[in-house]
């Protein structure tokens, strides 16, 4: 570690610029070991064997992100980490602030009594519909080999534009493509 790398550790902690991963003890000092937020956006990878603290590290990182108002998306196939994070936030008093509670969206896809609806075609204010449609098509192209489907892009682009114009979701796509009367009604609007 060069002096240039060591100096940021001496700078007082700022939650807007850094996230604390742990502590280091050079020269009998106990200093926070920090990573710049901008470096996290570039790439971050956590590796370790079972029981070595990967989930606990993520829990602390998510907590810091929440405290400083950074958006978080946690996909937890087992649910343990999500439960631990919610418990950690609750015990810290995070949810006593009404704005924090309003910002939380917890989706549990394993619940049988509630299935969240996500409309991929819903546009945000001033969002370009053509750009949005192209982004979704790009996801399809990355997911499936579409080289042998040359008109796929044109059909999908035009279909999504019609669906967005009519404030419909992608669930209506099969009907739009196969039902001429339905398609004519949507196109006339």
Per-residue pLDDT tens digits for 135-188: 999 988 888 888 888 899 999 999 999 999 999 999 999 999 999 999 999 999
Q: Of 93-97, 100-104, 130-134, which has the strongest mean pLDDT?
A: 130-134
pLDDT at 4 over 60: no
Helix (H) or strand (E) holding 42: helix 37-42
Count how many Cα atoms sit within 13 Å of the Cα of residue 109 in the half-sphere of its side chain: 7
Q: What is the reported pTM?
A: 0.57
pLDDT grade for 13, boundaries at 50, 70 and 90: low
Residue range 10-16: mean pLDDT, rounded = 59
Please provide residue 116's backbone torsions phi and psi, each rounded to the nearest 5 degrees: -70, 140
Residue extents of the structural domains in the chain: 3-103, 129-188
Q: Of 13-17, 95-99, 128-132, which has the strongest mean pLDDT?
A: 128-132
CA distances from 18 to 3, 53, 172 (A): 18, 20, 44
pLDDT tens readout for residues 126-146: 889 999 999 999 988 888 888
The total of other beta-carbon atoms located within 10 Å of residue 163's CB is: 22
Q: Which residues, other chains included, contact 140 with Cβ-Cβ below 8 Å and sequence gap of 6+? A: 146, 152, 156
């Amino acid at each position: 570690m060069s002096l240039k790398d060591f100096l940021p550790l001496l700078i007082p902690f700022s939650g807007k610029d850094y996230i604390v991963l742990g502590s280091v003890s050079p020269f009998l000092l106990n200093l926070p070991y920090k990573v710049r937020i901008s470096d996290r956006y570039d790439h971050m990878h956590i590796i370790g064997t079972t029981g070595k603290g990967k989930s606990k590290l993520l829990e602390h990182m998510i907590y810091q992100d929440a405290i400083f108002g950074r958006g978080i998306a946690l996909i937890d196939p087992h649910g343990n980490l999500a439960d631990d994070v919610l418990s950690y936030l609750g015990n810290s008093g995070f949810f006593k602030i009404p704005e924090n509670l309003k910002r939380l969206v917890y989706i549990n896809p394993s619940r049988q009594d509630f299935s969240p609806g996500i409309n991929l075609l819903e546009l945000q204010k001033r969002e370009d519909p053509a750009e949005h449609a192209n982004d979704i098509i790009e996801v399809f192209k990355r997911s499936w080999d579409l080289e042998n489907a040359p008109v796929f892009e044109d059909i999908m682009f035009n279909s999504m534009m019609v669906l967005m114009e009519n404030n419909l979701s992608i669930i209506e796509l099969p009907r739009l493509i196969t039902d001429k009367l339905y398609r004519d009604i949507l196109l006339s609007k």
